[in-house]
A and B are shown apart, each in its own frame.
Chain A
């Protein structure tokens, strides 16, 4: 009889532990990241982005780019304004996990292959790196980061999954990333990026989220460099999903035409 009570008590204790333990939340960090990628990705996407660069003295400069992406392996950024950078194009193609990048500068009139060190450089004077920008074109956080679910937290009045992520890609300059993902729709609302000394370097926030062609889309993305006191605000317009974009757009031939 005592043995029977012992078994029941054991099952209750284990059950209570299972129910209350954060390690057994209904979803894992990797699964959340999978859902984030599914939410942000589409077959094709085309958008126009106004980039406002704000320096530590609050001086502002504006640039306009068009970003076109297909799946998570083809991306093209073309500068539309101002005049001195108009026509500059940046092509990213990923094949078998290898990312290749080419830059076309109208002043040089030639397509130049660029090495992976550029990925961590400032994207045309903004607070975004080339790598950050390529994530906007077609998110693939799952293959670049290893994530753990740290718990559920409130952010901006919404319940969010908090992910603690470490880069698996050696070319990424950040030592780790924290991501606040809206539990209701898997849209990341905030990300923190830490430098190699584990100090907070940048904070990215997604605002003004709209449903466009069935895709939840942040229409205002801000990247703030907290160490430098600078920030870049991206304002999206003319966002279109699943439009026909021929493969020839993602070629070095196209970007120099």
Chain B
């Protein structure tokens, strides 16, 4: 009953505030109310959000754009404080052959559907309901030089480091897995206590003010090469997710030494950080007959020579009844990692179709070949008026108890049922 009251209160607040936003034509945005029930943690969650966009052109060659989110989350049966995020704020300058964008911005490269491993400049917010939509802006200078209408080179300098926010449970799982591994190596009866009390976890972030830590990216694109758009990309920067930067063998040896000699006096550090990495990408998108096809490849190697290879192959087709379909294979292989990670092999199937002309139904299925589990996400979008939409959906996973930190299912907030009311203005 209490939950119902909260939901009704949020809805009322949302609807009462609609007329306030009779704004100038340069200001737009949306009001959004998300409410979901998370089956994994058996809790109601929610988010009340107001997104504001401001866009102003100065003649044909300059414009500014600002995008902010003001929101509060409902979690653990309470509202968090009101938060404000500046997603994007940049100045565009259009010169004869060059477009410049200066400020906090999103940079989107890659040809695959929703999952773009070669787009490495911006981190994803893994605490978002749908992390593929939760890309975060980075402060950067982007320059795009056009050789002609179909060929251009993009260069990016990123002036600050922003990491991927990760759900607390995932961070804890990563550290507790390491501690459990050490405890096993030390052996009982002291193992668990030593690993827990004598190991200090230290997290550090890159200091991008140092020239050697600056992040750079480049992309060269040629459109319409025998009907295909082709591009190659390069990234030199940091991984978005934290990982263990200490030599685990040394830490393990030291812990064992402490356990034997100074179990109550000495500690040792386990360092967690964001490793320097380089990425090399290749993209192609075009059609074979009337079927759309694409491929996206990315090879990543970090400062410890740990390698990640991503291959994404996909195709799309629209049937006569307006059913739009996507089929995409996603392969990720890890090589030479200090902590062994499993390969990932996914099949993503997407379909969407209008019904009663103004509403839409869609579904995403992700199937994991390696462990034989799946995630199914059907969703209906009802158009309630020109600017007001209601989304109803559910996420069903085939293995809700899986605890692998790097599982895509864990990163997608687990099983839940949700609705989302959005008013665009």
Chain A residues at the B interface, C-beta cutoff of 8 Å: 53-57, 59, 61-62, 82-84, 86, 98, 100, 102, 108-110, 112-118, 120-122, 125, 127, 171, 173, 195-196, 228, 230, 247-248, 251-253, 257
**Which of A61, A196, A228 is within 8 Å of B358, CB to CB?**
A61
| 19 residue pairs from A and B, CB less than 8 Å apart | A53-B357, A56-B356, A61-B358, A82-B387, A83-B29, A84-B422, A100-B224, A109-B108, A110-B110, A114-B292, A115-B290, A115-B316, A117-B316, A118-B318, A120-B318, A122-B322, A251-B149, A252-B150, A253-B144
A108, A117, A253, A257 pick with most chain B CB within 10 angstroms: A117
Which residues of chain A come closer than 8 Å to B289, judged between CB atoms?
116
- Whether A116 lies near B287 (C-beta < 8 A) is yes
Which residues of chain A come closer than 8 Å to B144, judged between CB atoms?
253
Counting CB contacts under 8 A, is B152 at the interface? yes
Question: Are A55 and B358 also in contact (CB < 8 A) when A84-B389, A171-B290 are?
Answer: yes
A114: nearest residue on chain B (CB-CB)?
B292
Which residues of chain B come closer than 8 Å to A251, judged between CB atoms?
149
Counting CB contacts under 8 A, is B146 at the interface? yes
A98 to B224, alpha carbons, bound, how many Å?
11
A82-B386, A102-B223 are known contacts; what are 7 more A-B pairs with Cβ within 8 Å? A109-B108, A110-B108, A110-B109, A121-B324, A251-B149, A253-B152, A257-B94
A225: nearest residue on chain B (CB-CB)?
B357
- Whether A113 lies near B223 (C-beta < 8 A) is yes
Interface residues on B, range: 35 or more
Top 3 closest pairs, chain A to chain B, by CB: A115-B292, A115-B287, A55-B357
- Whether B424 lies near A122 (C-beta < 8 A) is no
Count: A-B pairs, CB below 8 Å: 102
A237 to chain B, nearest CB (A): 17
Which residues of chain A come closer than 8 Å to B202, judged between CB atoms?
none
Which residues of chain B come closer than 8 Å to A127, judged between CB atoms?
357
Give the residues from 309 to 350 in chain B that come closer than 8 angstroms, CB to CB, to chain A: 316-318, 320, 322, 324
Counting CB contacts under 8 A, is B92 at the interface? yes
- Whether B356 lies near A253 (C-beta < 8 A) is no
**Which of B99, B316, B387 is within 8 Å of A84, CB to CB?**
B387
A39 to B357, alpha carbons, bound, how many Å?
32
Counting CB contacts under 8 A, is B420 at the interface? no
B292: nearest residue on chain A (CB-CB)?
A115
Counting CB contacts under 8 A, is B376 at the interface? no
- Whether B386 lies near A173 (C-beta < 8 A) is no
Question: Are A82 and B424 also in contact (CB < 8 A) when A61-B358, A61-B383, A61-B386 are?
Answer: yes
Counting CB contacts under 8 A, is B354 at the interface? yes
Which residues of chain B come closer than 8 Å to A61, judged between CB atoms?
358, 383, 385-386
Which residues of chain A come closer than 8 Å to B287, judged between CB atoms?
115-117
Counting CB contacts under 8 A, is B297 at the interface? no
Which residues of chain B come closer than 8 Å to A247, judged between CB atoms?
149
**Which of B228, B293, B356, B425 is within 8 Å of A55, CB to CB?**
B356
**Which of A114, A120, A122 is within 8 Å of B354, CB to CB?**
A122
A228: nearest residue on chain B (CB-CB)?
B357
